[in-house]
Structure 1
């Protein structure tokens, strides 16, 4: 005996799982591979069957059926619970970036509706409307990509919608980004001479000289201990970095000591005579002023560069000091200027001194591999990029000198011809 199939009010045969509701709309019920029941609804049978095709496609691709009510924020909360292996300050920074920029609006979007173009549009909105810098958007992308990748791993997403989303933004805004430039030789000499004079800024001479002539990162500099340097062997052991960050909870902001992110970050670098002199100067100053290190951070103490209270130096304090030094140095130069052609200091930061040291090495023809080891770059591409930028500027200046040389030669020849003509 033939089984009578269920039909809708128009006489159309309904498939397994399909039902027509009393209000005339349609429903499709099924169980996922975990045995959980699900339903989808539609106003017409054709619309319902289009949705059934999406359900089948998701099932074949292993995509979970309970994704419909899941938001990006839901994935983020799960990511926070599962993420391991990050340094505390890095993890706190990731969470800050997400809650500050993603969570309030974009994070509320359901992942079932998320497309690649939505992520690109979000990044463009941050750049064009919110005027967020490209580096900050890069940090936002780092955490957002990891959150969405968790959605792929947990079978909520077929692919990561943020893949390659940042490349287009970087390409579009590359011309707008201001590259960090190194100090020129005259600017560097002016900066050193100004600090070397006895005065209110002479106190900052040792730390900025060490920064400028070692190429160390600022966190590595302020984290240096006296046991990390060998004045006899004239070497500096770089084996940790001092960071300041929002720890969350009741502790809030504070210092911590991190080991290098990569093996290349742990290194021994040579101590130039000028750097050795700066260390000795710092030691004598602290002895004369009876300043001793009172700080202990994660078991580390006896830091070299400390403030007048014996605490470790804060990167923000150093940058503020630089701004005051630059301002007063330029005032002095301009007040004493007898002609219009004077050298003044551009605005720069702590990290610019590392870039300056790298540029001086390039100009001196230091081997690329040696540069990479001294700077602690894990990736040779980073060193090569700086080398390329530096040598580009060097070639430009050399060509200008080349042109000036021929101008001078033509002038000498012209004068000689003129003298010969007068003698005749």
Structure 2
């Protein structure tokens, strides 16, 4: 009796595996079971439970309080309400897309959707390390989109002069309008580009007025906790223009004294609150300089309440970066990208390229 090849092929373990290879590759659970790494639904936990473990891991690792607070906000305000009860094994790339759509449907901005997705990916990564899930769908989705990163960068709008970055004339007006105890702070931040946390943690021992140098060696977060800059690149030395040197010389004689040796302490000599620096310093200077935008609110007399045109110190940092990058003919310093990276304290040259490609500012130099 002739041999039935079809039955023989179906009964052969080797041929059966070969014939089903494509199907198996498409069936992730089957692949995971075959490789001995599958996690059953009953053996995993929910996103909310994994998120709590993620926060505890961050606290145990000594992450800054601001970072822990951000984790809690992303988890409790954005992730748990929409997907807290979902098991980790149900989180796939299509599910992530649907979750992002739900976030947008709830009015979250594109930037917030991106940040929350990153946090979800971090939760899954922590769960992977605990053996609670095999796949990290956020990372898989990110890899699938890796080919579009260049186009995404090209699609980013330039930071606009007069909208995102103060013009040279506007910066001059801020300098002229800044008076009182916050003027030295504003002058220093404009001409060094240091972050507000770095200004709060700045000590007199880190300022060399004779040589005209400022050393960034520590920072103070919004809770007043002092620590090292976030990255090694954050520790840097910056040249001080004469206007900063002269301003700080005077400030060293009349400013409040601090046992910690802080350059910009509050009246009690302690670390200044960020909101005080912003509201009483930058915002008051902007409003006094006439740099304001209307709001929908009115005061008791029915007059419109105005808001400062530039909402945060990042605008001054943008101005400093543009000043470093621009040509000398346009009033800038015309520094190399590597020199700009060093001054800004960027963790990598790519960050500098990405940021500098979006900066543009021209005009008469302030100095």
Scaled by the length of structure 1, the TM-score of the pair is 0.64
Q: 1:376 to 1:56 in 2, by over 3 A?
A: closer
Extract unaligned runs of 5+ from structure 1.
1-52, 196-200, 245-253, 295-300, 333-344, 399-424
The ranges of structure 1 where at least 4 consecutive aligned residues each deviate by more than 6 angstroms after the TM superposition are 166-172, 174-178
Equivalent position of 1:145 in the other structure: 121
Q: Tell me if the contact between 2:218 and 2:228 (Cα under 8 Å) persists in the aligned partners.
A: yes
Equivalent position of 1:326 in the other structure: 286
Q: Tell me if the contact between 2:220 and 2:271 (Cα under 8 Å) persists in the aligned partners.
A: no
Equivalent position of 1:359 in the other structure: 322
Moved more, 91-100 or 347-356: 91-100
Equivalent position of 1:106 in the other structure: 83
1:373 paired with 2:342, answer yes
1:213 paired with 2:229, answer no
Distance 1:68 1:123 in 2: 26
Distance 2:226 2:322 in 1: 29
Distance 1:354 1:69 in 2: 45
Equivalent position of 2:54 in the other structure: 79
1:311 paired with 2:311, answer no
Q: Tell me if the contact between 1:67 and 1:111 (Cα under 8 Å) persists in the aligned partners.
A: no
| Mapping for residues 279-358 of structure 1, pairs under 5 Å | 279-286=248-255, 291-293=256-258, 301-321=260-280, 322-330=282-290, 346-358=309-321
Secondary structure of the equivalent of 1:108? coil
CA drift of 1:208 comes to: 0.3
Equivalent position of 1:60 in the other structure: 34
CA drift of 1:241 comes to: 0.8
CA drift of 1:384 comes to: 1.6
CA drift of 1:139 comes to: 3.3
Q: Tell me if the contact between 1:235 and 1:270 (Cα under 8 Å) persists in the aligned partners.
A: yes
Q: Tell me if the contact between 1:68 and 1:112 (Cα under 8 Å) persists in the aligned partners.
A: no
Q: Tell me if the contact between 1:94 and 1:139 (Cα under 8 Å) persists in the aligned partners.
A: no
Higher-Rg member (1/2): 1
Scaled by the length of structure 2, the TM-score of the pair is 0.73
Extract unaligned runs of 5+ from structure 2.
1-26, 293-307, 327-332
User: Number of aligned pairs?
Assistant: 307
CA RMSD in angstroms comes to 3.3
Secondary structure of the equivalent of 1:237? strand
Identify the match of residue 267 of structure 1 among 236, 244, 262.
236
Distance 1:178 1:133 in 2: 19
CA drift of 1:386 comes to: 2.8
CA drift of 1:177 comes to: 8.3
